[in-house]
Chain A
């Protein structure tokens, strides 16, 4: 089967000045098949949001793609000119639910008007004609019809987020990228939204890329997980593989740092240090300054701090980039 999305060696850098180039996404490759849901996990600054924007070809300035390619349904969208992308790709094939989007709805337009905009632009409808489809989309996310004529401030946070999800689905895209869609929501509303996404995933059979730093939320909805650190993918596999048998030291430590409500934990783990500076990241494996294996076990000095480990398959479908698992 052909992958729906094929990212190869993608490099997205932020060029702030001649001397300051932030290597936000540095040589990332991944494949997504139709109907799959992938979670992009990592802490702040690891590049997961930038990767999401890159796939949508919507990277905020001064970022740009300096290497690699993004193929959607076999077409290299990084090559195509902006008008083509706008007409045929963005929001048509791939749409995005932005971080804190519920707060960036236009306050002077009704929800219906905003939801109808993509239809008017892409399908040449009038706002009247689009209303039918808007109501349908709202029903899909569990919102009543009268919301079409409401203004954003008249709705609660949860309702607004549902409206934003409806907006991302309005042109029935093949892939939806959700960037921290529940971070700003209360835990009860968050559970409701996640339930909604689970339903939609099954109903509409849509492919999903869910970006979050919250590993607990990811486990609720994605089938595959890619763990990112400092602009690179360090581990990739199915949810079971990642959560139950994590291989990369970072993943292992990260999972131990997640507080669990239903277990009595005496001491939560943490990873000392901080994520590296992306302008001049550490040589070799970017995690090595904080890696417990590098510090405590012998035989890794001169390796992890000099050469980047490649992504290797440790079991079918489970890839890790760590010298523990590759021969040198």
Chain B
């Protein structure tokens, strides 16, 4: 097995949610309305890397995470895991292999744990589902994992309930549970956004240690560009269901190509007291359009500040055709007609 091969591959992935129409519309109306949460994205995640999916609420990043883990069935497109097409594999098949190699860490450490389960039950649930080990063996394994996530002394935590733990401790329990089946790929959906600032770095450091130790691959979903840059190797920026830019973390932040990425970066505050003396300039206009009523062509054009400055030839493209992704420099791709010359080259 080639270690550099992609562990996850996504091809033109789409997920459209039908909007429930009223009784009469469903009889007399002809068009069915969809929320196009994910509308044709393609990317690869390589082994042992940390890949970030960054975007604001409604951009489709969370849906993408769920699609990759097959919690949802895609409307179109393909998903490959370790070379195998898992797009429409039935759940029973998935349980045999895929489910044991993948896991997820959620945003809210309280809500992602059954409040009636003890810590042991939470962490050992995957073992019990797959009927692995005797009760005693499971207890030992869980104890080992609790030590790995630094919840010690283990006796203090094994039989406690989640509400008796702090937020950070609960998130460690979730991490321990995500590791229990020895996975290769973990989706982390905003794992630190509900934790206190002083603990976030601790959890991220723990995740990094575990990654090195177990050779894990992470898909890190967040709206916080700062932690994405700190924690991840590569970042994909999403807007309204499409990837607008993809590249290395440093590359994206230091040399943002897409106007949306530039706006995002400009909007992120930093702890600098001189900020309060001037208004923040964010190069974006208008509001996020309704996901059921997207503009034609490039879906960002109504908010794009570069659109007004661009020549008519490009503006026409922006109005009529959706820009596909194109590679501008090594490993750094963008989906924007402003980089038309790269399209011609390609």
9 A-B pairs in the complex with CB atoms less than 8 angstroms apart: A159-B287, A186-B57, A191-B282, A223-B276, A259-B200, A259-B201, A260-B270, A265-B230, A274-B199
- B residues near A (Cβ < 8 Å) are 56-57, 166-169, 196-202, 204-205, 223-227, 229-230, 250, 253, 263-273, 275-276, 279-280, 282, 284, 287-288
Task: Sort A-B residue pairs by CB-CB distance and give the 7 closest, nearest first.
Answer: A239-B273, A268-B201, A270-B201, A186-B56, A259-B226, A216-B269, A271-B198
Which of B204, B230, B264, B288 neighbours the largest number of chain A CB atoms within 10 Å of its CB?
B230
Query: Are A188 and B264 touching (Cβ within 8 A)?
Result: yes
Query: Are A219 and B197 touching (Cβ within 8 A)?
Result: no
For the complex with contacts A186-B57, A261-B270, 13 further pairs of A-B residues with Cβ separation under 8 Å are A187-B224, A187-B268, A215-B197, A219-B269, A221-B276, A222-B276, A243-B273, A259-B200, A259-B227, A268-B201, A269-B201, A271-B198, A274-B199
A243 to B276, CA, bound (A): 13
Closest to B197 in A: A257
Query: Are B229 and A261 touching (Cβ within 8 A)?
Result: yes
B255 to chain A, nearest CB (A): 13
Provide the A168-204 mask, 1 if CB < 8 A to any CB of B, else 0. Answer: 0000000000000000001110111011001100000
A138 to chain B, nearest CB (A): 16
A216 to B270, CA, bound (A): 5
A169 to B197, CA, bound (A): 31
Closest to A157 in B: B57
Which of these, B196, B253, B271, contacts A213 with CB under 8 Å? B196
Which of these, A198, A238, A257, A262, contacts B279 with CB under 8 Å? A198
Query: Are A270 and B271 touching (Cβ within 8 A)?
Result: no
Query: Are A261 and B225 touching (Cβ within 8 A)?
Result: yes
A219 to B276, CA, bound (A): 6
**Number of residue pairs A-B, CB distance < 8 angstroms:** 131
Which of these, B196, B268, B269, contacts A43 with CB under 8 Å? B196
A255 contacts partner chain B, Cβ-Cβ < 8 Å:
yes
Closest to A184 in B: B57
Residues of A within 8 A of B279 (CB): 195, 198-199
Q: For chain A residues 240-273, which have a beta carbon within 8 Å of chain B?
A: 240, 242-244, 253-255, 257-262, 264-265, 267-272
Query: Are A219 and B253 touching (Cβ within 8 A)?
Result: no
Query: Are A257 and B200 touching (Cβ within 8 A)?
Result: yes
Query: Are A270 and B202 touching (Cβ within 8 A)?
Result: yes
A194 to B253, CA, bound (A): 22
Residues of B within 8 A of A265 (CB): 230
Residues of B within 8 A of A242 (CB): 273
Residues of B within 8 A of A243 (CB): 271-273
A156 contacts partner chain B, Cβ-Cβ < 8 Å:
yes
Query: Are B267 and A188 touching (Cβ within 8 A)?
Result: yes
Residues of B within 8 A of A192 (CB): 282
Closest to B57 in A: A186
Residues of A within 8 A of B272 (CB): 219, 243
Q: For chain A residues 274-295, which have a beta carbon within 8 Å of chain B?
A: 274-275
Closest to B225 in A: A261
A285 to B215, CA, bound (A): 42
Query: Are B197 and A254 touching (Cβ within 8 A)?
Result: yes
A82 contacts partner chain B, Cβ-Cβ < 8 Å:
no
A1 to chain B, nearest CB (A): 22
A222 to B273, CA, bound (A): 8
Residues of B within 8 A of A186 (CB): 56-57, 223, 288
Contact of A258 with B271 at beta-carbon distance under 8 Å, contacts A188-B263, A253-B198 already known? yes
Residues of A within 8 A of B230 (CB): 259, 265, 268
Query: Are A187 and B225 touching (Cβ within 8 A)?
Result: yes
Residues of B within 8 A of A198 (CB): 276, 279
Residues of A within 8 A of B202 (CB): 270, 272
Q: For chain A residues 134-182, which have a beta carbon within 8 Å of chain B?
A: 156-159
Q: For chain A residues 98-131, which have a beta carbon within 8 Å of chain B?
A: none
A132 to chain B, nearest CB (A): 26
Residues of B within 8 A of A191 (CB): 266-267, 269, 280, 282
Query: Are B273 and A219 touching (Cβ within 8 A)?
Result: yes
Closest to B265 in A: A261
A44 contacts partner chain B, Cβ-Cβ < 8 Å:
yes
Residues of B within 8 A of A221 (CB): 276
B41 to chain A, nearest CB (A): 20
Closest to A259 in B: B226
Residues of B within 8 A of A253 (CB): 198
Query: Are A220 and B265 touching (Cβ within 8 A)?
Result: no
B124 to chain A, nearest CB (A): 25
A324 contacts partner chain B, Cβ-Cβ < 8 Å:
no
Residues of A within 8 A of B196 (CB): 43-44, 213, 275
